[in-house]
């Protein structure tokens, strides 16, 4: 499988930069896998798991909480609000995530916001189950 450049950045730092074979991205409209020569696409992300297959075929999983994926002619860039290796997302970390999201639901002022926050809450739960599995 052909390799392509992939970058994962969070506001605090550049988390990953290098050649990969495939990345599965949790888009808001569903997961999609990005390989070399993927069509140009900008997608919003939902809380979920990024599955990275690096050039050597090693698979690593990271949890992201929202952000954007930019598939351009030159590679894939993910702007994550927060990204943590799946192995580090233990129960305590998820509880904190769920609490933060619940606070968002409570703080939402419009219906659209509330629905969006509630969706996120469900997605965080899905991600938790996916990691546990």
Partner 1 sequence: MPSLKDLRNRIASVKATQKITKAMQMVAAAKLRRAQTAAEAARPYAERMNKVLANVAKGVAGNPAAPRLLTGTGNDKTHLLVVFTAERGLCGAFNSSIARLARERIIALQAEGKTVKILCVGKKGYDVLKRQFEKQIVDLIELRSVRNIGFEHADEIGRRIISMFEAGEFDVCTIFYSRFRSVIAQIPTALQMIPAEIPEAAAGAADEAPYDYEPDEAEILASLLPRNLSMQVFRALLENAASEQGARMSAMDNATRNAGEMIKKQTTTYNRTRQAMITKELIEIISGAEAL
Footprint of partner 1 on this chain (CB under 8 A)?
A: 7, 9-14, 27-29, 39-44, 68, 70, 72-73, 77, 79, 81
Q: Find, among 23, 15, 26, the residue nearest to 88 by Cα.
A: 15
Give the nearest distance from C-beta 77 to partner 1 in angstroms. 5
d(CA 118, CA 78): 23
Which lies closer to partner 1 via its Cβ, residue 14 or residue 133?
A: 14
Q: Rounded to an integer, what distance in angstroms lies between the CA atom of residue 56 and that of residue 106?
A: 45
Residue 91 neighbours by CB distance under 10 Å: 9
As measured in angstroms, the least distance from the Cβ of 133 to partner 1 is 26
Is the CB of 12 or the CB of 111 nearer to partner 1? 12
Kindly tell me which of 27 and 125 has the beta carbon lying closer to partner 1: 27
Nearest distance, CB of residue 11 and partner 1, angstroms: 4
C-beta of residue 26 within 8 angstroms of C-beta of residue 61: no
């Amino acid at each position: 499988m052909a390799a392509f450049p992939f970058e994962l950045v969070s506001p605090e730092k550049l988390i990953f930069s290098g050649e990969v074979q495939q990345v599965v991205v949790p888009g808001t409209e569903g997961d999609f896998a990005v390989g070399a020569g993927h069509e140009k696409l900008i997608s919003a992300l939902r809380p979920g798991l990024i599955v990275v297959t690096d050039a050597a075929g090693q698979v690593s999983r990271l949890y992201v909480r929202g952000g954007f994926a930019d598939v351009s002619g030159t590679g894939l860039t993910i702007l994550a609000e927060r990204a943590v290796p799946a192995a580090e997302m233990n129960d305590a970390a998820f509880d904190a995530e769920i609490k933060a999201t619940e606070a968002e639901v409570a703080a939402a002022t419009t219906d659209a916001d509330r629905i969006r926050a509630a969706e996120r809450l469900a997605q965080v739960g899905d991600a938790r189950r996916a990691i546990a599995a």
